[in-house]
Every structure is written in structure tokens, then in C-alpha cells.
Amino acid sequence: MSTSTEAMLSLEAVDSGYGEVRVLKHVSLEVFQGEVVAVIGANGAGKTTLLQCISSLIRIWQGQIKFQGSPINETPAHTLVGQGLVHVPEGRKIFPRLSVRENLEMGAFLRSDKEQIKKDFDRVYALFPILAERSTQAGGTLSGGEQQMLAIGRGLMSQPRLMIMDEPSMGVAPLLVTKIYQAIEQLNRDGLTVLLVEQNATVALTLADRGYVLETGEIEFSGTGAELLNDPRVRAAYLGES
């Protein structure tokens, strides 16, 4: 949980979209250091667009995004990675023909501190032992859950301060979803701040300190993870309860 009074990441009245189609409508949210914050919502709500705006993969139309107190509206994506904002994208986007180790090396492409890179390899392999076992195997031959572990590991090799994750449970077997979320919880305990987009509302809100509900591009309501889990609107719309 946060001990800082200034948000590590803040969005204020952000609009964005594609062509003439507005997807995000005056979205405002905050993520404080040490938090896990979840954004939940139905397909098409704008969750992926939100994360792509934060990581400068899509330009925002209006509003402001700040990271560590500085505006990043015009900051290139690779510069954000160097500043500690790392995006684990929807669908993993690993390099299928590269080995597991080569995929992890790609996460450290901005770095030159060889001794710390070696320590970070050890950290990733300790977190996800299956990756150590399959370090020479092509990434594309891994299962969906193992590829998700690889995508998270690749992100960790960039030494993030804030990791944003898009649908880490998508296409992953339930047992591996549990392992992935246990790893996210461990990373958070170790000091990593996490912004998590997830359709699996129960899993995400159980882990999250706070959450936001995004509906048709707008933040409809927010609260602690526990508050949203117990909110009748969330339970009816996202947990399959009446």
C-alpha cells in the first residue's frame, strides 16, 4: 500500500481513440507507489486503449498523464521504459522464434549493467522456475501460461518501477493463472507497483488495493478491491451474480 502523498501515475480527464471514434472519455485515475490497482470492465470498454495511452503507444487527444510527477503525454515509449514504466501487453507479444533466454535479454536491451542483469535473470528464474528449465526452448513453443510468465519476466528485465499488465489471465489455464497472480503478489511485496487490466474481476480485485470500473470508455465507479468485490453493481455485471 502507498506511503506517498503524490501519485506515481496520474491521468486527468484523458480522451483518446482511433480515427474519429472516441474510446476514452475524460478518464481520471491514480496509482500510488506500492499499490496494485486493477481496472476491470467488459470487452470493448477501452481497457487496452487506456494502457496503450499510458505507455505512449497511442496519442491522447486531450487531458494529461503524469508519471513520477512529470507529464509524459509526448514522451516516446522507449523513453518511458528507461524511466521505469513497463508494459506487459495483451496477448503476451513474445518473440516466438527466439529462445526463452533471448526473449528475456530483449527486456534488458536498454541496459549495460551486466552484473545486475545477471542478478535479474536469476530473479526471473527464481520467480518462474519453468523458464529456467526451458531457457533454450523457442518462446513460441511454450503454453499460453508459460508465455505469460515469459512476458512478465521480460518486463522485469527492464527494471520497472511501475508495471502495467494487460489481461495476464487471458488464454491461461486456471492453475497457471494462480501461479501468475501469486508471482504478481510477490513482486508487489518486493516493492513493484502494478496497474492491472483484467476481465477476471474476482482474481484482480482480490489482489488489488484499489480498483476502477471502466464502462464504454468512462470510469463509472471506484473503490478498494474489497469494496468493489462487495458492490452489488460489480457483482451483477462482472461476477455473474444477481
Domains defined along the chain, listed by start: 9-238 (3.40.50.300)
Task: List 22's β-bridge partners, or say none.
Answer: 17
Q: Are 217 and 23 in contact (CB under 8 A)?
A: yes
pLDDT in tens, 74-86: 999 999 999 999 9
Tens-digit pLDDT profile for residues 21-56:
999 999 999 999 999 999 999 889 999 999 999 999
Q: What is the pLDDT of residue 4?
A: 55
pLDDT at 111: 84
What is the spatial distance between Cα 151 and Cα 155, in angstroms, rounded to a whole number? 6
The C-alpha cell at 205 is: 480485485
Q: What is the pTM of this model?
A: 0.92
In this predicted structure, what is the pLDDT of residue 2?
47
Contact 199, 231 (CB under 8 A): no
Q: Characterize 200-237 residue by residue with b for buried, 16 or more Cβ atoms within 10 angstroms of its Cβ, and e for exposed.
A: bbebbbebbbbbbbbbebebeebbebeebbebeebbeb
12, 24 contact by CB (below 8 A): no
Residues of the chain with pLDDT under 50: 2-3, 242
> Which residues, at least 6 apart from 109, have a Cβ–Cβ distance to it below 8 Å?
none
State the amino acid at position 238 in one-letter form: Y
- From the list 155, 194, 167, 192, the residue with the least C-alpha distance to 31 is 194
Tell me the torsion sign for CA atoms 218, 178, 54, 49: negative
What pLDDT does residue 203 have? 93
Question: Would you say 214 and 181 are in contact if contact means Cβ atoms under 8 Å apart?
Answer: no
CA distance 12 to 190: 29
How far apart are the C-alpha atoms of 216 and 163, rounded to whole Å? Answer: 24
